[in-house]
Amino acid sequence: MGIPWDDIVVIQHAKKSNEPTTVTVNCPDKAGLGCDLCRIILEFGLRITRADISTDGRWCYIIFWVIPHSESLKVDWESLKTRLLSPCPSCLDFRSERIIIRYQRNLVQPPAYDSAS
């Protein structure tokens, strides 16, 4: 069972106008994912004030703190969320990969140890 699709990208709006909005991405990792996410955020006219990236090489958890470049900028947060989902590898692909590896491990088993020999 994977994580719900809505939980891959979570946008938490700031409580005060002078505080940054938090954008969290939680998905399988791939080379260049952080760069792709940053580019998308910048294309929406946002400035990244801080970022925290955690990965084990297979799964990543990234948090961006973002603010608009200008106060008059109206950000389409739903479109941003949709665009941030696009470079993320599918959780189903990640789960399938683990199932295939587990299946392949079961195919190759060492010979049973015979205590009589």
pTM of the model as a whole = 0.73
Q: List, for residues 11-53, the tens digit of each pLDDT value.
A: 999 898 889 999 999 999 999 999 999 999 999 999 999 999 9
The CATH H-level superfamily of 5-107 is: ACT domain (3.30.70.260)
Three-class HEC string of the chain: CCCCHHHCEEEECCCCCCCCEEEEEEEECCCCHHHHHHHHHHHCCEEEEEEEEEECCCEEEEEEEEEECCCCCCCCHHHHHHHHHCCCCCHHHHHHHHHHHHHHHHHCCCCCCCCCC
Give the pLDDT of residue 17. Answer: 80
